[in-house]
Structure 1
Amino acid sequence: MRLPDLSRYSLPREPVRLVRRAVRHVLGTQLGLLLGPALLLTLPFLLLRWRAPFRLLRRAEAWRLERFYRFHLATSPEKFLGGRRALLHGLLAGVLGYVMLDLLLLVSGIVLGSTIQAVISEPVVFDFSVWVLSRPALPILLIFGSSSLLATALYAEAAAWAQAALLRRWTPVVREDALETRISRLLITRRGVVLAIDDERRRIERDLHDGVQQNVVSLSVMLARARRSTDPERASALLDQAHAQSQSLIEEVRQVAWRVYPSALDEHGLATALSDVAASSPVPVQLDHRVSVELPSAVESAAYFVVREAVNNVVKHAGASQVSVRIETSGPPEGRRLTVAITDDGIGGADPEGGGLQGLARRVAALDGTVSVDSPLGGPTVITAELPSD
């Protein structure tokens, strides 16, 4: 689902950041073809007690990992990259760099060759043992050139992942690229939280203005009429009506407060609060609650509002005859996730960009969760929210 725009924040645009990252990884992998074998060649000097060349190459390799891959190692290479480990690491860097060299030669040959053929208006000929293909140079340049560049970037990313996986066997590794992505997501979700709060304030204002305020004005007018009435029976009837309206007003205020935050959620837990939602829905709701562990209050609140908003959308727009709600947890204790799935048999075609579903996405994203919507025309509609629950 699309989250709010971040145009007001001065972060690098994602395509530009990805291109810079790809270029860094390509250069870093290619440099590994030099530093990896050079590191291996200095290992025999360790047998002669001459450690200076090995230490120099090890520092250069650490610089390559930090400069081009943006790896932040928990410990310095001097403490873990020595002997057999340096042999494995240098061998991997050399092999990855050699493959990158072949790939760059292939890309250069395709791009430069196709460009030259396009300039001289000659086709590109592929001569195989079995057949010969001749195609215009410009399509070859656009299709094979762009695809080979993409393959180079993907290989460079795979090379960075492989070297990080090997290093993690010896020391924790943090990738700065992952931190940048995480910061971007946090900025998006922070903006989403602000928008969700604004939407909630507007909804509360509408409830108070259109409902509670109108009833209070009506009650005030009724009391004023009773006070001005000279007929005791008429005044008594007006007072009875005012009393009945005041009871209705109390119930309406209670409903507004319940929509802001249900007290049952704190007093009796998520299952009871959701049972109240099911009981008050004009469409039958089947609740399947399979959570046996204690959840953080923020996660319970998000799950409750996801179910309530989804059920309200079904009542207003889906034309469904029934709704099923399933809530369960999965995963190990340290990475347990809560899954909330709401399914209805309505007409389908729910718009993920609509205000209600966008509000759900923002609320769940604030807790590092995700929302997905599957709603083909004709139904059924399935809204699934996943939240970390540890």
Structure 2
Amino acid sequence: MRLPDLSGIQLPREPARLVRRSLRHVAGTLLGLVLGPLLVLTALLMLVRWRGPFRRVRGWELSRLRRAYRLQLDDQAGDSDGDGDGGGGGDGAFLGGRRALLHGALAGLLGYVMMDLLLLVAAVVLGSFTQSFYGSPVTLEFDLWVISRPAPSVLLIFGTSSLVAAALYAEFAVWLQALLLRRWTDVVRTDALESRISRLLTTRRGVVLAIDDERRRIERDLHDGVQQNIVSLSVTLARARRATDPARSSQLLEQAHAQSQALIDEVRQVAWRIYPTALDEHGLASALDGVAETSPVPVHVDVRLEGEVPQAVESAAYFVAREAVTNVVKHAAASHVRITVVTLAESDRRMLRLSVEDDGIGGANPEGGGLQGLARRVAALDGSVSVDSPAGGPTIISAEIPCD
């Protein structure tokens, strides 16, 4: 079987996507200045039974909502008579009668404010740009004071802030119109789905990197520990075979036996670091107790889980706690570690919240390879990891993972 070529897949560029989204929203809001009053006018014409213009303008308005705002609307919502309470039969008939008057008035008002804002942006940008060639300052005169600043500064500061204000206002216009439409029909913002897809692509790439990091760590454990001990055991057995003195041979065999027992323990430790069997057999609390027992720094474990927690969530929480404790032992010079795991109900989701706190010297680097690997592992489950580690301590590593 030939595998598909995935080399051409690229992650979406967020800044470019956000700029395109802002431009769509600005243009759509400005277009509402035209379609909003037309919708109101043609809705009034329905009083004399002239329905054709209204249906045409309503179609244009629905197209504006879909193309500029990426609003996915349920066209089957509403009543069936078109008498002012909405209409049925699809084709956006929910937007009829008195609803069209309200929606059109809102769209026209939002479009008028957007036009005024864009005129201000154009005046500031073009005026400042023109005066920059003459070297003359820009003067802003008020009743109480007069401000005179160099034209390039005004162009940079006020021009940029005006463009940002236009983009933010466009976002507000989309939110307000979607809020009104949700009273009459189901509304889904597909650009929000695009953001979600972008996040999933990013976390998928993070999972691949985390797996590669874990493979490298396992390879180091096997190469630097297990493999070296196997070589040492082989050398000891070879010396025992060559020994002519029975007492010397017996001594070497005893040494080889001790080395084999140590090797078995080390293999168990490597397997436990890859994935502890206690996590599957006895749950998260037991696995964290194992971390506490093997840690040279005293660790207090407090686990309060309500209800069933998915195995993937328990596994992610375990590895976060274990890596955090390992970092404490290596770098923090701490005398005590506390691991707390609880489940919380937040709005419509149940979350597992893990925190690992130590009394060490602080200064943990959130960009370090170990913590970044944990963040990628948790992000794959739609969770998040945060690090609070001021100089002097204490250090608190927290993770929140959805349980649903």
2:399 alignment counterpart: 385
Q: Which residue of structure 1 aligns with residue 128 of structure 2? A: 114
Higher relative contact order (CA 8 A, sep 6+): 1
The CA distance in 1 between the partners of 2:394 and 2:91, in whole Å, is: 56
Deviation at 1:310, TM superposition (A): 0.6
Q: How much does 1:33 deviate? A: 1.1
Alignment of 1:210-221 (within 5 A): 210-221=224-235
Out of 183, 200, 209, which is 2:214 matched to?
Answer: 200
Equivalent in the alignment of 2:4:
none
In the alignment, the residues of structure 2 paired with residue 329 and residue 82 of structure 1 have an alpha-carbon distance, to the nearest angstrom, of 47
What SS does the aligned partner of 2:390 have?
coil
- State whether residues 283 and 323 of structure 1, in contact with CA within 8 Å, keep that contact through their aligned partners in structure 2: yes
- Identify the range of structure 1 (49-58 vs 148-157) with the bigger mean alpha-carbon deviation: 49-58
Q: Following superposition of structure 1 onto structure 2, how do residues 202-281 of structure 1 map, counting pairs within 5 Å?
A: 202-281=216-295
- Is 1:306 matched up with 2:315? no
2:26 matched to which residue of 1? Answer: 26
Give TM-score scaled by structure 1 length: 0.94
Alignment of 1:148-187 (within 5 A): 148-187=162-201
- The CA deviation at 1:12 is 4.8
Quote the Cα distance in structure 1 between the aligned partners of 2:161 and 2:271: 57
Contact 1:28 1:64 in 2 (8 A): yes
Are residues 1:73 and 2:63 paired? no
SS at match of 1:81: coil
- Give distance in 1, aligned partners of 2:260 and 2:133: 86
Aligned to 2:349: 335
Measured in 2, the distance between the counterparts of 1:347 and 1:204 equals 29
2: CA distance, partners of 1:62 / 1:35? 10
The amino acid across from 1:296 in the alignment is P
Give how far 1:43 is off: 1.7
**How much identity, in percent, do the aligned residues show?**
69
Q: Which residue of 1 aligns with 2:43?
A: 43
Alignment of 1:87-166 (within 5 A): 87-166=101-180
Q: What displacement does 1:74 show?
A: 3.4
Per-residue deviation, 1:180: 2.1
Query: Displacement of 1:90 after TM fit?
Result: 1.5
Q: Deviations over 1:149-172 (max 9, x none)?
A: 111111111111212222223333
Q: Is the 8 A contact 2:12 2:198 kept in 1?
A: no
Aligned pair count? 384
The alignment partner of 2:92 has SS state of helix
CA distance in 2 between partners of 1:169 and 1:279 (Å): 57
Instruction: Return the TM-score normalized by structure 2.
Output: 0.90
Separation (CA, whole Å) in 1 of partners of 2:13 and 2:131: 35
Post-superposition Cα deviations, 1:157-200, rounded to whole Å, max 9, x if no partner, equal 11112122222233332223222222221121111111111111
- The answer as to whether partners of 1:36 and 1:92 remain within 8 angstroms in 2 is yes
Give the 5 Å matches for 1:315-354.
315-332=329-346, 334-354=348-368
- 1:58–1:77 CA contact under 8 A, matched in 2: no
CA distance in 2, matches of 1:231, 1:135: 98
C-alpha separation in 2, matches of 1:70 and 1:372:
33
Correspondence for 1:17: 17
Residues in 1 aligned to 2:264 and 2:74: alpha-carbon distance in whole angstroms: 60
Structure 1: unaligned runs, 5 residues or longer: 1-6
Whether the 8 Å CA contact 2:62–2:92 is kept in 1: the answer is: no
CA-CA distance at 1:112 after TM superposition: 1.9
Amino acid at match of 1:280: T
Farther off after superposition, 314-323 or 12-21? 12-21
* Change in 2 beyond 3 A, CA 1:121/1:229: closer
1:133 CA drift (Å): 2.0
CA contact (8 A) 1:33 1:97 kept: yes
Q: CA deviation at 1:11?
A: 4.6
**Secondary structure of the corresponding residue to residue 293 of structure 1:** coil
Q: Does 1:293 pair with 2:281?
A: no
1:52 is matched with which residue?
52
Residue identity opposite 2:365 in structure 1: D
Aligned mates of 2:74, 2:253 — CA distance in 1: 76
SS at match of 1:236: helix
Match of residue 368, structure 1, among 363, 382, 388: 382
Aligned to 1:4: none
Distance of 1:37 and 1:196 partners within structure 2: 55
Q: Secondary structure at the match of 1:331?
A: strand
- Contact 2:106 / 2:177 at 8 angstroms: preserved in 1? yes
Query: What's the secondary structure of 2:386's corresponding residue?
Result: strand
**Which amino acid is the alignment partner of residue 103 of structure 1?**
L
C-alpha displacement of 1:110? 1.4
Gaps of 5+ in 2: 1-6, 76-89
What do the CA deviations read for 1:64-85 (whole angstroms, capped 9, x no partner)? 0111112222335524222232
Q: 1-side partners of 2:322 and 2:390: how far apart?
A: 22
The separation in 1 between residues aligned to 2:183 and 2:128, in whole angstroms, is: 44
1:3 is matched with which residue? Answer: none
